[in-house]
Chain A
């Protein structure tokens, strides 16, 4: 596999959601920028580690007409706080988190979503359950798929792109071929299939129960969806209430 399946999935989702592609803006962080902009040609900002969500927040507030998509690898360490707050604010951002469980480009150091990794004394910390963090900080759309669930992932992305509010899609997949643009090694090809084979679709499952463990199958699916006024909606509502007719609706 030379090109990561996420690229075609995202391209299909943009087409399906009928969004003007000029208005799509991608933000990413961490060591390697996703090759997605090089292949698909959207505006892309590759910013400081972990800070893509606040950068995207500023961008969305600067121009509410943009459709801001945050592509991240590990979003729960440096960006964990930003993730929760953007979710709480319900910023109109789509977060696509490619979870590969570790940092392969720096000798496979442990990431906070892993059970076992390269670490001299193994990993004894509990991993983070990203969908549950998203759900409990009130994201409006929460889903998890592996990269080979192409049909379902396209559907999820289309839904998230068409929706207004903070949407989180976790994609379980090796990251090398996605972030660094290095063609996937045979081992990674095996891995991407392994994740797919060892997953079980459970739509609308309570996010409490979807923690990834070595013993159980990876539970994937669309876990949660709700409608909630976005930050800009609430901003407009509050300001027009206080300021009155003088206030120019922000859009």
Chain B
């Protein structure tokens, strides 16, 4: 798909993470935003509103996040790339429609600017407490794609990537940023239109009466049509057959739900992205993502002064989790150190992948601020000295 030059603001701009996300969305061809305003995602909403007139995009402020995501799903079925921006309790509200988006296989992007919780928390407090909710929040079994940028530039790049994944796999894709990345301003380089690689959903090309809305192609993704084009189709959030009509049997549940997960797990190597620094000969590896990853390099340089061999592993895709790589790393190192702004979410996933092959040290912060490099450095030093197996990851 060729990018629409109208939406692409080629050049270098001083943008916050929130603004960069909207620029990324316009560059990716997004033309619909359904939203209910919530701090700290407000700059994104404002940016979309300001630019919507120039790029012919539609904006609607709904009555709550539930309806905001419902509107996004509805708009997506008309052929528009659509997105929603939210935060904190807004994401909790959206859960039922993330499930619907997965069941109806509707491409869309949800940006979640994480703030502290539970409940209202600190509205502008940085946090990373939604990583597990992003994966497991809606009821039932499903696989999802979740990306975490750690700079405004990456906000731009990953938003385009999120739209590409959502269109390719027909899933709602989540972009998890946090109050820190979202409000930090740096220079963002926006490439020329011709350099952008965009993917659009595969449309059904056969005869109108031959269309089956959930007949998978060889990649396990069914081709889509736009509503109102005369295909006369039926889709439902109930367990359905190829025709999109409900069938209440366990066989149909298997046939309907299994491909929803397989379409992602089968191509996870193409989805998963991470960044490794000096992990080849490291004894301790610091695993981080999003806001925490911005202080890791300082912590590592502090630890290196003590002669410890430390490497850094930054998650860019959280879900699907880069399990293969983490398992491999666990076999050759002494310990993982995981700074997270929550009370243990990804840390448990890493402990699972470490499978007792190495120690896992967790540096928790309950939100509202970043961990200091000294805190992380202390854990690195402790991790390098600890020879015994650690029994418990978190002690209260």
**Measuring CB to CB, which residues of chain A are less than 8 angstroms from any residue of chain B?**
22-23, 25, 27, 33, 37-38, 41-48, 51, 53-63, 65-66, 81-82, 85, 239, 242-243, 246-248, 250
Taking CB atoms and an 8 Å cut-off, the chain B residues in 328-381 that contact chain A are none
Judged by a CB distance under 8 angstroms, whether B147 is at the interface is no
Judged by a CB distance under 8 angstroms, whether B77 is at the interface is yes
8 contacting pairs across A/B (C-beta < 8 A) = A37-B234, A43-B233, A46-B234, A46-B235, A46-B246, A51-B70, A58-B34, A61-B75
**B 75-105 to A, binary, CB cutoff 8 A, 1 in contact else 0:** 1111110100000000000001101100010
CB-CB < 8 A to A242: which residues of B? 53
Judged by a CB distance under 8 angstroms, whether B60 is at the interface is yes
Judged by a CB distance under 8 angstroms, whether B238 is at the interface is yes
Report whether B56 and A55 are in contact in the complex, using a CB–CB cutoff of 8 Å. Answer: no
Judged by a CB distance under 8 angstroms, whether B66 is at the interface is yes
CB-CB < 8 A to A56: which residues of B? 74
Report whether B100 and A38 are in contact in the complex, using a CB–CB cutoff of 8 Å. Answer: no
Instruction: Label chain B's interface by main secondary structure.
Output: mixed
Check A23/B97 contact, CB under 8 A, given A47-B237, A62-B82: no
- The interface stretch among B39-47, B169-177, B224-232, B268-276 is B224-232
Q: A33-B246, A57-B70, A58-B71 are in contact. List 14 more A-B contacts (CB 8 A).
A: A25-B228, A41-B232, A46-B235, A51-B100, A54-B63, A54-B68, A59-B75, A61-B75, A62-B32, A62-B82, A63-B79, A65-B228, A250-B56, A250-B58
B56 CB to closest chain A CB, in angstroms? Answer: 5
Judged by a CB distance under 8 angstroms, whether B64 is at the interface is yes
Judged by a CB distance under 8 angstroms, whether B62 is at the interface is yes
Partner of B235, one of A44, A85, A246: A44
Residue total for B at the interface (Cβ-Cβ under 8 A):
45
Report whether B62 and A85 are in contact in the complex, using a CB–CB cutoff of 8 Å. Answer: yes
Judged by a CB distance under 8 angstroms, whether B25 is at the interface is no
Report whether A23 and B228 are in contact in the complex, using a CB–CB cutoff of 8 Å. Answer: yes
Partner of B58, one of A37, A62, A65, A247: A62
Max chain B C-beta neighbours (<10 A), residue from A27, A44, A55, A247: A55
CB-CB < 8 A to A65: which residues of B? 228
Report whether A55 and B53 are in contact in the complex, using a CB–CB cutoff of 8 Å. Answer: no
CB-CB < 8 A to A48: which residues of B? 70, 96-97, 99-100, 237
Report whether A62 and B77 are in contact in the complex, using a CB–CB cutoff of 8 Å. Answer: yes
Report whether A46 and B236 are in contact in the complex, using a CB–CB cutoff of 8 Å. Answer: yes
CB-CB < 8 A to B67: which residues of A? 51, 53-54, 57, 81-82, 85
